[in-house]
Amino acid sequence: MFADELKALRRLGFRHVLLQILNFASVLASGLMIWKGLGLITNTESPIVVVLSGSMEPAFYRGDLLFLTNPPNQRYEIGDITVYKVPGADIPIVHRVLETRDLVSNNKGMVAASPLAQEQLLLTKGDNNHIDDIELYQGLEWLERRHIIGKVRGFLPYVGYVTIAMNDFPQFKYALLGGLGLLALIQRE
């Protein structure tokens, strides 16, 4: 099937093969760098996430794509939709902030005046759940700022199903990657 292309590759020599592999590798590298750059700009480790459960219906359904930012200088208010990861659990959860509390630090008898100086504690609950998330916190009573991955700024419906499909059927992911690789190796710019 690819006899012509293989013959052409053999004829063109080692440098050419290196160039073609470089084509493929640089597509992957630029994708990775765009992802990392986006994460740095939005100050979150995962700027785009997919909703897996129905606990935020009717706002977000399973398969929606969410865009997150994590502004370091702003407080999280009641009503913000946050994505958080409890240490010990491996999947992040998308729920709304129900209560906030400040952990006031008493430094030599003085309290800092700025509202941002205090550590913020949060309690969340999914819109579609009857009870708040205390049971999901794995022993914690409140979520701290450092557990929060980010705040939802926007969303795209249905697009996340591609990621869900690739996670549930890994063959699909490898087939896609293999197809991309073949295309990059054979095509010349």
Partner 1 sequence: MAPKSRKAANGSANPSGSTSGEKSPSKQAQVEGETAVLVDAATTHPGLNLAPSAMAREEVKVNNASATDMKHACDDALKRFLSRPELFKQIHTHTDVRLALGWASVLVSAGTGFYGYKVEFEKSKPVIWAGLILYILLTVAQALYAYFVEGDVVFVGKRKTFDKRIVTERITVSSKTIPSTPSAPCPSYALSLSYVRSASGGKTLLGKGRAGAERPHNAFFDAQGVMDQEGFERWVGGIVGRVMQGPSE
SS3 156: strand
Q: What single DSSP character describes residue 45?
A: S
DSSP track, 33-84 = HHHHHHHHHHTSS-SEEE--SSTTTTT--TT-EEEEE--TTSPPPTT-EEEE
Shortest reach from residue 157's CB to partner 1, in Å: 28
State the amino acid at position 98 in one-letter form: L
Residue 36 binds partner 1, judged by CB under 8 A: yes
Select the span of 20-28, 52-60, 110-118, 124-132 touching partner 1 (CB under 8 A). Answer: 20-28
Q: Are 160 and 65 in contact (CB under 8 A)?
A: yes
Decide if 130 is catalytic. no
Residue 11 binds partner 1, judged by CB under 8 A: yes
Select the span of 9-17, 97-105, 151-159, 166-174 touching partner 1 (CB under 8 A). Answer: 9-17
Decide if 16 is catalytic. no
Decide if 80 is catalytic. no
Interface residue list for partner 1 (CB under 8 A)? 4, 7, 11-12, 15, 18-19, 22, 25-26, 28-30, 32-33, 36-37, 39-40, 44-45, 146, 188
Please identify every residue annotated as catalytic: 55, 95, 133
